[in-house]
A = this chain, B = another copy of it.
């Protein structure tokens, strides 16, 4: 296989006390709940020339298991809402991409399109939208629904939602605003476009009441790994935050998604696939393992069980903690693919329930690597060169030290290997990721000129 000519892309996935579920209890963990904490991390990632910072999100406190909820920082309570936080960061950073998660299940396409376009302009073209659908039944209860939305319907709505948002982002052509003081024409009415969308879920006339954004539109990112999710991604995503644990699965997923692009008239380079990785970095393997064990020792059993329940939708608290993971579990409505990933892992490695929760606790089902900077650079290089990834979303176990470790120890090793940039080449997130600027598709229906 020929050596790849492009380089690895890196995102810093900020999770407020760190990605390890017990990180908040660690003596070195920052509380990480103030704007200043996020500013510090964003600047750190920017100084290291990362492509983006990335924020996950949900719209509920997970109280189903009250004992677990109150014992972790990951119960769904966030110090800030992502769009407002990223907007604040836009004013105090200059180059790094700002990616926030927002669900199509419980948002409105006009308001969401407008806020992301606004963030794109505030940041000079650095906004990204991680489009997710919501599987959480507790979230549904906050939005006048009585139950979680069915998997199929959720994706149907997501497809239409994305179509509306993309359409609204093209309300004005790039050069629509003349601001011609002499003639008195503020914008060219021939360059503003109604959307006139009429669909199953939405009826939206438009135009969106903000100018077209600096990147044409914000970068659209997705994460779904189910059939419906991969199809939505192939249709609409420009980057994918993937979750495959093994190299084989990663390569298969990569080929699968890239192979679906042609049917939507897209090329393989139009989508960057960036798996999450949970790296525990030590100067020696022993040191890395010690760091990891220290975090693991802080996991409370209530939290471990709650975590399995959150990931798979099944409650294992009535089974013996040191017995096997039962094999006759029902398939749930929420997050099919994530459920399969976690339960497959347990069966493959013949784990007890306790062993399973200890295994997935850190990365919560994502790819976990404990080792030296060389070890970690090796697996990143391997997966990149095998076409299992175009880049990686770094899920530091502990904040801020986990990100500091990765930047000070692993990034220099990647640079020595020619795998990661030393300077930004472009200004926008789209440029960092090597994505094309989307030209305006012109009128769907021209507004009558005067």
Q: Measuring CB to CB, which residues of chain A are less than 8 angstroms from any residue of chain B?
A: 24-27, 31, 33, 35, 39, 58-61, 63, 66-67, 69-73, 75-81, 83-85, 87-92, 106-108, 110-111, 114-115, 117-119, 121-122, 138, 141-146, 171-172, 179, 181, 184-189, 192, 202-207, 209-211, 300, 447-450
Assess the B61–A450 pair: CB atoms within 8 A. Answer: no
Contact A179 B81 (CB under 8 A): no
Given contacts A114-B81, A115-B81, A450-B66, contact A142 B210 (CB under 8 A): no
Contacts of A187 in B (CB 8 A): 70, 75, 77
A72, B87: Cα distance in complex, Å: 28
Least distance between A449 CB and chain B CB atoms (Å): 7
Q: Which of B88, B117, B211, B449 contacts A88 (CB 8 A)?
A: B88
Query: Could you say which of B35, B110, B179 contacts A24, with CB atoms under 8 Å apart?
Result: B179
Docked Cα-Cα span, A206 to B62, in Å, equals 10
Contact between chains at B122 and A70 (CB < 8 Å): no
Task: Give, as a whole number of angstroms, the nearest-CB distance from A137 to chain B.
Answer: 10
Report if A209-B78 is in contact (Cβ < 8 Å); known contacts: A66-B447, A84-B118: yes
**Smallest Cβ distance from A94 to chain B, in angstroms?**
12
In the bound complex, what is the Cα–Cα distance between A117 and B81 (angstroms)? 9
Chain B residues with CB below 8 A from A202, complex form: 144
CA–CA, A153 to B203, complex, Å?
21
A447 in complex: contacting residue of B63, B83, B142, CB < 8 Å:
B63
Rounded to whole angstroms, the CA-CA distance of A83 and B210 in the bound complex is 14
Is the CB–CB distance between B450 and A205 below 8 Å?
Answer: no
Tell me the dominant secondary structure on chain A's binding face. Answer: loop
Number of copies: 2
Q: A189 to B70, Cβ gap below 8 A? A: yes
Residues of B within 8 A of A83 (CB): 83-84, 87, 115
With both chains docked as a complex, state the minimum distance between the C-beta of A315 and any C-beta of chain B, in angstroms: 16
What are some 27 contacts across the A-B interface (CB < 8 A)?
A25-B184, A26-B181, A27-B181, A33-B211, A35-B90, A58-B209, A67-B450, A70-B189, A75-B187, A77-B172, A77-B187, A77-B211, A81-B115, A81-B118, A83-B84, A83-B87, A84-B118, A88-B88, A89-B91, A106-B108, A106-B110, A107-B111, A108-B108, A108-B143, A111-B111, A138-B205, A145-B203
- Measured CA separation A248–B225 after assembly (Å): 66
List 13 extra interface pairs beyond A81-B115, A108-B143, A184-B300, CB under 8 A: A31-B179, A59-B111, A70-B187, A77-B211, A80-B122, A81-B117, A84-B87, A84-B119, A85-B122, A88-B90, A106-B108, A107-B111, A142-B205
A140 closest partner in B (C-beta)? B205
Whether the pair A449, B210 counts as a contact (CB closer than 8 A) is no
* Contacting residue for A209 out of B27, B31, B60, B179, CB 8 A: B60
Residues of B within 8 A of A76 (CB): 209
Hey, which chain B residues are within 8 Å of A87, CB to CB? 83-85, 87-88
Complex CA–CA separation, A87 to B92 (angstroms): 11
Chain B residues within an 8 Å CB radius of A210: 77-81
Minimum C-beta distance from A12 to chain B (A): 18
- Chain B proximity of A70: nearest CB distance (Å): 4
Give Cα distance in the complex from A203 to B144, angstroms: 4
Could you say which residues of chain B place their CB within 8 Å of the CB of A69? 189
- A297 shortest CB reach to chain B, Å: 12
Interface centre among A33, A72, A450 (most CB of B within 10 A): A450
Q: Which 9 A-B pairs have the closest CB atoms?
A: A87-B87, A141-B205, A81-B118, A84-B87, A88-B91, A84-B118, A70-B189, A91-B91, A144-B203
CB-CB < 8 A to A35: which residues of B? 90-91, 121-122
Per the bound structure, the CA–CA distance linking A31 and B80 in Å amounts to 32
B204 touches A84 (CB 8 A): no
How far, in Å, is A312 (CB) from chain B's closest CB?
Answer: 22
Smallest distance from the beta carbon of A53 to chain B beta carbons, Å? 14
Residues of B near A206 (CB, < 8 A) are: 142
